[in-house]
Amino acid sequence: MASPGAAERAPAAPALYTRDYWTACVVHFTGALSLEMFVLVPLLIREVGGTELTIGLALGFGVAASVAFRPVVGTLLDRIGRRRVLLWCGFVNAVSWLPFLAVTSVGPLLYAAVAFHSIVWGALFAAYFTPSRTRRTSFPRSGARKASRCSVSRASPRTGSARSSEKR
């Protein structure tokens, strides 16, 4: 028989600051750092002799590369799992800035560095917002299709916002 005060005690809350919590914080922090690309890369491009057109072309090329690579990310999400994709992309995202140190002029290295960073950031973005298979959602079951939806809504925010405001 339980002690008289046992029924009055609330169940203990699960620990918040677990290893998984700190891992998620580090992955999110490295992902957030990469958003500085939209501020710093245009400054770098201008510093190495680029114009506004060059800035637009380079960033547009990066986004296009990221969207084109998204089905591969979906396949990785299906095959190796969301957690591994998040961890690997978080690490690679943190080091994806290193190629920019070698950029001294507008050329193939600049475009390759922008594309590499954009692909990694896109993979991290898809892994963040693609629901796991264990949760019930209205999303299709294929990770490739889920990742493609993430890329489309990122590439065309007006379409995404129009869909979210529709009444069902």
Q: SS3 for the chain, per residue? A: CCCCCHHHCCCCCCCCCCHHHHHHHHHHHHHHHHHHHHHHHHHHHHHCCCCHHHHHHHHHHHHHHHHHHHHHHHHHHHHHCHHHHHHHHHHHHHHCCHHHHHCCCCCHHHHHHHHHHHHHHHHHHHHHHCCCCCCCCCCCCCHHHHHHHHHHHHHCHHHHHHHHHCCC
Q: Tens digit of pLDDT for each residue in 32-85?
A: 776 777 788 899 999 999 999 999 999 999 999 999 999 999 899 889 888 888
Q: Is 53 helix (H, G, I), strand (E, B) or coil?
A: helix
More confident residue, 64 or 86: 64
- Residue 94 phi/psi, 5° resolution? -65, -35
Query: Is 161 a residue whose pLDDT tops 70?
Result: no
Q: Give the pLDDT confidence of 103-137 residue by residue, as tens digits.
A: 999 999 999 999 999 999 888 888 887 766 654 44
Residue boundaries of the structural domains of the chain: 51-130+141-154
- Residue 133: its pLDDT value, please? 60
Q: What is the pTM of this model?
A: 0.62
Query: How does DSSP classify residue 12?
Result: P
Give CA–CA dist 54/81, Å, rounded: 37
